[in-house]
Structure 1
């Protein structure tokens, strides 16, 4: 396996020697560590798809964290390995270590998490090569043999694929997600608004969401405008939909089943939401999206292809109603022209 980089990548002396001695056809066991929540989990799919194509005879194991299993791409791997997460703090350290060791010896380990748990998973698991994309130079020297640069200015799903590009492998662009879901069948085309996020600090004000839905439902009456409620008790949407009770093409919906949510998002003409896992699911479902950012980095989760936009201010203040509305109007107009 040749390492294809002059700048922008890193390999230890051992990593260079071992990589040069490995026959790709002899790779039989690969572990991919992804201890991450729903949004980052679905963005792993292009990497796993490419990995299967490159190493068709290898057993691929996906290592998860017990508190982050929702959306795991089980259809793309041969085996799941689940370490104890923050939901299992009562588990004794000895048992936690034993669970990590169940991963077993591998030919290659790709760490797509770069967290304390993934660090000790790497340390406790033997492998010929360990590859990752840590932010800090000290991390690559302590835990890995080969590393690529991680950037907050590159779409996360594409950044992950650099771990294959460094070995000279061609990967598809745009990234391929191949979500195993059929779109929800609705009588009319519909726009989904998801006003929740992992924390309230990432949520665009509900009053602005209500005004946005009202304005777009009037300007685009050919669409149904559906506000999707989150699963948390704090994720109420009454403040958004109650003022719009008189508008016939505005409604609310709550879906507790993940497969139903996938199908519903897949069938949408557009999803407008905060920086949240549901928007990442929409990206993976090839549904056009608008992301509203002010508490997180936009470029990591903004695909610069197809029909996606990110609305944010350079000073990280909350985007205005007009900014989000203009983005939505422009994207819906582009969709109409492309139909």
Structure 2
């Protein structure tokens, strides 16, 4: 499990590497006058991301995606984008705030996942568990997909609202567990609480014997929680590619909302079959929405200012002056009238 110190080291390395990439690449791109038509990215096992859906629907035009592997961590994904190992990555907006506060040259360009009544992260305990309240979590283990991101922010919000002190909150242990193993870890009592979302959550609920202690939807209502980011130098060199990508992702999100659920799921099944990554598609039947709040993935200022305020309150930004409007742009999104 990556420690907080290791995570900070990764942040620093990501920023330094990205600075070097930016300094080395601008001249060649300007000389060639060509824009990228292939975007490298990381996927997720057994699921179809909005970017993958956009490509399959033909919304990316001549821009093609190149899958280089899978990830279960938003912070890792945007670090990989920062260092140039991939061209775009996605993460919880609070994680983007933290990486940007460390002077990473990245900008959020479109929302890609969020929270609504159907798409939420629940923090589940076994039926009959002695854990009934936030205070009961002291000394207990909560299984999450990664540290320093969505589940950590939601959990600490829940604990803070329940009146726990910082010292008490520090005694609640967050443990990294791969999402596909989280339900099993809970049932085998390797962890006390399991963060479950999307199709894996509904599949676990179908198995019975668990119930949520708290959810992000109950705490905060509907909101766009995460965004795709691109490196600033990439945006500068490839404005048309960026506009095609961002607008295409937004159109795919809108398509998923306006199309009958059964048709969306069938499209997902076809995509999994075509990409031939030897994935189990049984969980797709539980898909309900991407949860993005608003048309076309357009980013609202509050979707970053909320987490800047929260991170300032916890001291994690260490007094750094971070402005929400510096972290994102809707300039490349046709749904926002973007005209890059």
Instruction: Tell me the TM-score normalised to structure 2 length.
Output: 0.29
Instruction: Tell me the TM-score normalised to structure 1 length.
Output: 0.29
Pair member with larger Rg: 1
